[in-house]
A and B are shown apart, each in its own frame.
Chain A
């Protein structure tokens, strides 16, 4: 069966250990978490976890069933099989002290990247997009010399309920 990336959205009770339980359930059964994003929902006592994992539909169904067994898990949805939008964000610091300064300024203008901090010696960019857009941006940023970068996990939302 075809292996592909699956985006799983999990509603959980916002309790100590809940992330450890989820990570442990997957890790203990040999499944890897490729990306992860967690925060509370509009209700503080309920959190949403969005994670991606790589596997066949069969494997992912097994993961969903295992997660569903956890006492603190309220709901598990595989967003891969429904229409949904996906976003990631990166924060990138580029040094302006190199000979690439002019190149960097030009690239920021051309790509309409959002500069959130601008100092004499460096700038910090904030870029959001789906996975391919982020990968595209990274391909352009790499030759400019990335001083540091942070990439979030994927967040996703289905289009309809």
Chain B
């Protein structure tokens, strides 16, 4: 049967089990939108194309499925770039469809034309311009395969208007694609090497990252750590891959990592780095990072190995497959750790934990942001999916909210995209309508995609926004305090909208707390409402994120903030 391009597109999406599209119409995609209307396809109309990509990204991070969005040509396409780059840095599987002018006009500077495949080449895993209707079905199938295989990532498909209007035969059974990534299994010799290293180690440490969550390897990782009593630290992207309430958990490492995690990294003699890429915010100066340790790196992407940190034993492979192999190998070879040595190491860590715990001081009349986060955890018992924007509130969330399960912290780690959290929360809530979804936000970030409140209100997507409002761009302000003698150049955000009134104008409930004793009541009320809610917490203006490793310094060298904070 002959079908039009627009029909093939929607049929191909059905084949991929796509449940929802986040998008925004425009001239070049009106034919596709007409087909959406006829098919009654589930589509969420965002208020800015960047929001569409972040929403699809949030959906993908929470479900592990491929997120899908659809936008028009030209500015519609360019508005997706920040979202695509965000997903690319954190290896999130997306397929982004962009409209394009008819093939005959490409290159003529037509109205709303832009070379979006050229623009997104460096920030997609791959992209396509579909030049012929006969390539459409196979391109879509390839795109989904590429997005989710190996190290996942965003794929963009550019759809010229005339191609979508053309007709061709379509039979999903006849759409064949080549296989991109052969499943890679490490040689048994690697496992033997790793066993030797474990046997020689007195103070081993696991460092878990986003690759464990993307590879769905949390169970294997947890079994490995618990069975052999190996303490675990994690990157921002790794939070939730190991239960945060387990005594072996040491919190996040790196620039705003815990004192004890950074001390453990600096003193361990074996580091098992799993699904991490050694970002500079994690390592501090490379020379001093895990300087006393042999490093084992397990990652699906060969280009992540030896990129920033030279490793002693690289193991390339899917994290679940490798950890399953490892657990089996250790079991078969009756690996046991030396109990006395291990106790000494765990006692040392306990001592560091006691010496400098993560702490803050909620005294006086001003709300401390960390207190809001801790109260949120207490009230939800952690049964919630958290998204964040980017900045101080993001680091406080990483420090003070306990994540016990994978896919429960949705945050822009690599690119650090302000404005990510609200649209991402909308995407998450679309995937899990019955789950409490909370965007922990700052007053700077929330204003970057505040228009998506309208999306939440229109579709009754009942996300909750916990706004930690310090009337500053807090993270740059903290750096200005520390490194620029408190010259707060353009970081003061005192001139801001009344967020409660703003929420109400969008049809969203607005609540406010200005005193510590109001925090719990406002959170309780906001969380209980079956509506989207923005809760404006007026917090301490110049609270800092501590511990902090100064940029370019060793992660063993932490500044701990004022005495009052760590008392």
Contact = CB atoms under 8 A, between A and B. Distances in A.
A69 interface: yes
Contact of B121 (A17, A66, A69): A17
A30 to B, nearest CB: 13
A69 B125 CA distance: 8
Contact of B306 (A17, A20, A61, A68): A61
A159 interface: no
B302 interface: yes
B222 interface: no
Interface residues of B, number: 16
B310 to A, nearest CB: 9
Given A62-B306, A65-B302, A68-B302, A21 B146 contact: no
> Per DSSP, are chain A's interface residues mostly helix, strand or loop, or mixed?
helix
A43 to B, nearest CB: 14
A62 B303 contact: yes
Nearest to B142: A71
Interface in B93-133: 117-118, 121-122, 125-126, 129
A54 B21 CA distance: 46
Contacts of B125: 71
Given A17-B117, A71-B146, A71-B180, A24 B122 contact: yes
A58 interface: yes
Contact of B126 (A20, A24, A68, A71): A71
Contacts of A62: 303, 306-307
Interface string A31-51: 000000000000000000000
B121 A20 contact: yes
A24 B121 contact: yes
Contacts of A21: 121
Contacts of A25: 122
B498 to A, nearest CB: 43
Interface string B117-156: 1100110011001000000000000000010000100000
A123 B146 CA distance: 53
A66 B304 CA distance: 9
Nearest to B118: A20
Contacts of B302: 65, 68
A28 interface: yes
B306 A69 contact: no
A25 B126 CA distance: 12
A24 B115 CA distance: 15
Contacts, number: 32
Contacts of B306: 58, 61-62
A68 B301 CA distance: 10
Interface string A45-82: 00000000000001001100110111110000000000
Interface in A64-123: 65-66, 68-72
B117 A65 contact: no
Interface in B143-180: 146, 151, 180
Contacts of B305: 65
A66 B122 contact: no
Nearest to B307: A62
A24 B121 CA distance: 8
Contact of B303 (A16, A24, A69, A71): A69
Contacts of B118: 20
Nearest to B305: A65
Nearest to B121: A24
Nearest to B117: A17
* Among A16, A28, A71, residue most surrounded by chain B Cβ atoms (within 10 Å): A71
A24 B126 CA distance: 13
A28 B303 contact: no
B232 to A, nearest CB: 28
Interface string B288-312: 0000000000000111011100000
B301 A69 contact: yes
Contacts of A72: 126
Contacts of A71: 125-126, 146, 180
A115 B126 CA distance: 46
A39 to B, nearest CB: 22
A65 B301 CA distance: 9
A104 to B, nearest CB: 45
A68 B125 CA distance: 12
20 contacts: A16-B129, A17-B121, A20-B118, A20-B121, A21-B121, A24-B121, A24-B122, A25-B122, A28-B122, A58-B306, A62-B303, A62-B306, A62-B307, A65-B307, A66-B303, A68-B302, A69-B151, A69-B301, A71-B146, A72-B126
Given A28-B122, A66-B303, 20 more contacts: A16-B129, A17-B117, A17-B129, A21-B121, A24-B121, A61-B306, A62-B303, A62-B306, A62-B307, A65-B303, A65-B305, A65-B307, A68-B302, A69-B301, A69-B303, A70-B126, A71-B125, A71-B126, A71-B146, A72-B126
**Nearest 4 CB-CB pairs, A to B?**
A65-B303, A71-B126, A65-B302, A28-B122
